[in-house]
Amino acid sequence: MKVHREPDTTPPPNNHPGIGLAQELVRIAACVKASLKSYDHASLDIKAVSVLSMATISFERPNKMRVWFNKGLSNTYDALRLMRAEDRDGRLTLRTTVTRFPTALSTVADEIGPEPRSLSDDAYVAWCLEECAQARVDVFMPQHRRDLLAEARECFEAQGTRLSVMGDGAALKRAEQKDALYEDLAGSPIPVPAWRRFCTLDEFEAAWADLGGANARLCLKPCVSVYGAGFRRLETEGSEYGRLLSGATDRIGVDAFRSALAASHQRRPMMLMTYLPGVERSVDVLAHEGSIVCAVARVKKGNVQFLETTGPSVTLADTLTRRYHLHGVFNVQTKEGNDGVPYLLEINSRMSGGLLYSCQSGVVFPYWAALLAGGLATPADVPQPRAGLCVAPVQECRVVPA
């Protein structure tokens, strides 16, 4: 069973060079203190954090680079499994934290520990800073609350921890809010489908009329969602009972949606969009400081996916990477319109659910992202992915510690 290992808390000797880093410690303490605005109720003490920070900076790092994934989606298991298989030289110690046990992550992580639930923003940043200090984390690859942690990058770097996220806090928030992203791209070379934002029934009716109503093929989705949750194609014919029996969870009648929206007390921002009928591509990207290192576009065909490394969707991802100075592992979704042009659907600031398909190209994206972030590799070291592969999924089960 993989277990959380207690950190080495042996104080440094008096003649250790870390003792003289007073200014560095003051800066660390200031960062942590800023993150503790609403954390007074907890047991974390600013002096204790400063001592931990001093120990982290003072001691020389072990030969292995320590990489931490916080709470994430199910693809964290795939990432750690692939990284472990790729790490033939044993350069990495893989750590993760979770809010629930038992978990399959215990079979692929070197270290696993509990993660608290329901912390405020400031408290969560403070907890992550303490976790990095105690566990001597070299590279932190956040899967949860990425925009919040990106804004505290300087605090993590002051402790000696590199943060591997797609961009700064503003870039991450823009990617999460699809309407804000589309607004920012207006007039740019990046094509986006025609769209309108709405919250209320009256706003929906106005957007419906603007985009062509019953004479157009339209769809809708929330401005903020994960894994396509809330996406529906709008239909003016057929019955809801027929759609229910057919299992068509991606479709809804216009009148049924009107009724649901009118009866709802939520005022969640939604987007009404032109439906794009063409080929959809999911482009997994590894970038370094605003330049693409490699990219693989996936095309679904039945239960298999075909891998591409060139084409308009990859070019579009490259343009976005340079425009927003993107970094690390992220995903770009495109879909072709009737004109055959790929339009941007969204940018996912995290590892995609299908990243394990792209890793079959010969590039384990999270592994190289960690090495790049930790300074153990340069973009020139990363192998180029193979194209033209057909990849099929397999299912497996693992026995885990109860």
The residues pairing with 92 across neighbouring beta strands, listed in sequence order, are 65
**What percent of the chain lies above the pLDDT cut of 90?**
78
Q: What is the mean pLDDT of residues 185-202?
A: 97
Q: Quick one: pLDDT band at residue 163, thresholds 50, 70, 90? A: very high
Of the two residues 279 and 54, the one the predictor is more confident about is 279
C-alpha 14 chain-centroid distance: 42
Q: Quick one: pLDDT band at residue 30, thresholds 50, 70, 90? A: low
Query: Reduced to 3 states, what is the DSSP secondary structure of residue 91?
Result: coil
Q: Quick one: pLDDT band at residue 197, thresholds 50, 70, 90? A: very high
Of the two residues 18 and 301, the one the predictor is more confident about is 301
Instruction: Quickly count: other Cβ atoms within 10 Å of residue 8's Cβ.
Output: 10
CATH number of 277-391: 3.30.470.20
213 φ, ψ (degrees, to nearest 5) = 55, -135
pLDDT digits (tens, 9 = 90+) for 55-91: 333 333 457 999 999 999 899 999 999 999 999 999 9
pLDDT at 375: 97
pLDDT digits (tens, 9 = 90+) for 236-265: 999 998 998 998 889 999 999 999 999 998
pLDDT at 63: 75
pLDDT at 23: 45
Query: 193: cis peptide before it, omega within 30°?
Result: no
Q: What is the mean pLDDT of residues 264-292?
A: 97
Helix (H) / strand (E) element for 68: namely strand 65-69
110-119's contacts with Cβ under 8 Å and 24+ in sequence apart are: 110/2, 111/2, 111/3, 111/4, 111/5, 111/135, 112/2, 112/3, 112/4, 113/4, 114/4, 115/70, 115/71
- Whether the pLDDT of residue 26 is over 60: the answer is no
**CB burial class (10 A; 0-12, 13-18, 19+) of residue 334?**
buried
Of the two residues 220 and 63, the one the predictor is more confident about is 220
pLDDT digits (tens, 9 = 90+) for 133-160: 999 999 999 999 999 999 999 999 999 9
pLDDT digits (tens, 9 = 90+) for 267-278: 899 999 999 999
The CATH architecture of the domain made up of 17-163 is 3-Layer(aba) Sandwich (3.40)
Looking at 126-140, 233-247, 297-311, which range is the least confident one? Answer: 233-247
Instruction: Write the CB contacts of 122 (distance below 8 Å, at least 6 apart in sequence).
Output: 35, 36, 37, 38, 39
Pairing assessment for the beta strands 139-140 and 65-69 based on DSSP bridges: parallel
Name the residue among 62, 81, 72 with its Cα closest to residue 141.
72
Cα–Cα distances (Å) from 257 to 207, 235, 277, 372, in that order, read 14, 10, 21, 47
pLDDT at 34: 54
Name the residue among 260, 324, 313, 268 with its Cα closest to residue 291.
324
Of the two residues 128 and 267, the one the predictor is more confident about is 128
- Whether the pLDDT of residue 39 is over 90: the answer is no
> In whole angstroms, what is the distance from residue 39 CA to residue 58 CA?
26
Mean model confidence pLDDT for the chain = 88
> In whole angstroms, what is the distance from residue 123 CA to residue 41 CA?
10
Give 260-284 as a DSSP string. Answer: HHHH------EEEEEPP-S-EEEEE
Q: Quick one: pLDDT band at residue 9, thresholds 50, 70, 90? A: very low
pLDDT digits (tens, 9 = 90+) for 340-379: 999 999 999 999 999 999 999 999 999 999 999 999 999 9
What CATH number does domain 194-274 carry, 3.90.470.20, 3.40.50.300, 1.10.3720.10, 3.30.1490.20?
3.30.1490.20
| Domain boundary assignment for the chain | 17-163, 194-274, 277-391
- Whether the pLDDT of residue 7 is over 50: the answer is no
